[in-house]
Structure 1
Amino acid sequence: MKVGPAAVEKFQQFNVPGDDSNYHFESFTFASGKLGTAIKANRGTFKAEVLESMHQIKSQETPAGAGADADVSVSAIGNAQGAGFAVVRYYNVVDSATGGSADSLDLAAAIRGDVHMIVNDTAIQLQMYPASGEKINDLADDAAFDIDAFTTVIVGCLVDGVFKAKAI
């Protein structure tokens, strides 16, 4: 999708850390209030979604191919890989967590093109785990990615088995 500069109110672009320097995430807000995200590879965009504005997205159906309706509110339910809240939808807002006992999220198996947005709306740092045997960014297999309090993270899969995550 091509848009002119007048249509975009805010634009952010950032590279994913590590060896995959040919990949980057983009997030942008249209003047109309719509939010967009994209993951790009050196050969062009293969996953891009345009969403409703943040105050409307909670009632919106998830973009095609990204799961079911957006999670309006989820609670982290464990604190270890396989024990946390299963992240399967595009948009997830965590609004309840307890440090040390209910503060983790579990991603499904990483399949190229998958994208998740996770909003940590708590004062607790969350741990997000990949599926067993997989990884997030350049962390070790099965290692948790920390999501700071009151932070939004875009998570995307560019290569099966590996999620790339970036706070925005």
Structure 2
Amino acid sequence: MVEDSLVMSALSACRSRLQAFIRGRTATRADADDILQDITVQLMKVEQPVENVAAWLFRAARNEMIDRGRKKRELPFSDFFASDDSLPEEELSEILFGEAETPEEAYLSELFWEELSDALAALPPAQYEAFVKTELYDYSVNALAQETGVSVQALLSRKHKAVRYLRLRLRALYEEIVAD
């Protein structure tokens, strides 16, 4: 196991950047805190020496956020990109959301999740919240309306705008993946 003092000093050195990284990609502060705690525990359980602890922590945080997002996603890949084309959605869905079996699948999956993360970050905060909480964190629109005090109709409108933007933004990547 990695030495506790080494973990704490490395974590202290990059804690604020790591927290900002995680908080910028999660819906709530509690989720960010949970992820930070989980990856800290993971690091303490590592049995081999870690050369670059900061890089390891950022990679572990990113992987943890991806894993949590996958577990909570509701939309099937084909619904998200909704098109009339007869494209291999099941195959793409497996590549993007399943376990990568080849380096190419791993690359495509990583590329997709990075693009999605960037696209989500570009959304206005209200649209981001409506989309992320209902699609990735299992909130019902009614529950989100009660939590935020915003009408169901307004939340549905925000989510619709977010989906339209994400479809446009990710369509080029989708077509590039399918063309290969």
Query: Which of the pair has the greater relative contact order for Cα pairs under 8 Å at 6+ separation?
Result: 2
Which structure has the highest helix share of the two?
2
Which structure has the highest strand share of the two?
1
Query: What is the TM-score when the length of structure 2 is the normalising length?
Result: 0.25
Which has the higher Rg, Structure 1 or Structure 2? 2
Query: What is the TM-score when the length of structure 1 is the normalising length?
Result: 0.27
